[in-house]
Amino acid sequence: MDYKRFNDTILVRMDRGEEILEQVKAVALKEHVTLASVQALGAINDFTVGVYNVAEKKYYANDFKGSFEIVSLTGTIDTMNDGFYCHLHLSAGNERGQVFGGHLNRAVVSATCEMVIRLIDGKIDRKYDDVTGLNLFHGPFQSRTKVPPDGRNFLPPEVKNPRRMSPDFLHLQSKCYLIRANARNI
């Protein structure tokens, strides 16, 4: 595996024989990734995906071997109990155009896997949900960017007297100013 980080994006190339989930974890831990979206494509020859039965609170695994192209690999990197957690789904097609997919349990690269990890500014921890039997996003949803509730610290300098403006206008001005400020940092 090899990867390169570009600001909030990590490009990963996985090589023949490597297991995808192991490599995602290695990159995430090395780069201190706590929240990100993941997309990938590539070729695999041995994979297991599961389908969750909510009523039974049980995963049913399906194993596949052969030549497969990753049609879609998508998901998230986040945390559970402040430790690494990864939730990925995979769809892969065979030489006849049949596509199989589900929750990714494991996948071995046959040629290459090219992955894009988009870092998200914030932190979401997962917690076990008794109703569904799944580890779900659990609030509060935290951002590393601190925004005061009234947004006044983020008003543009040309707003001299915010008390004379309606709350809706102030809210809109604050959002616009934040967007412009973030755009300058990109």
Query: What phi, psi does 3 have (nearest 5°)?
Result: -150, 160
Dihedral, CA of residue 113, residue 76, residue 74 and residue 133, to nearest 10:
120
The whole-number pLDDT of residue 157 equals 55
pTM score, two decimals? 0.76
List average pLDDT for each run of 10 residues in the chain, which is 186 residues long: 98 98 98 97 98 95 98 97 97 98 98 98 93 90 56 52 51 49 49
Task: Name residues whose C-beta falls within 8 Å of residue 74's C-beta, 6 or more positions apart in sequence.
Answer: 37, 38, 39, 40, 88, 89
Residue 63 CA to residue 51 CA, distance in Å, equals 12
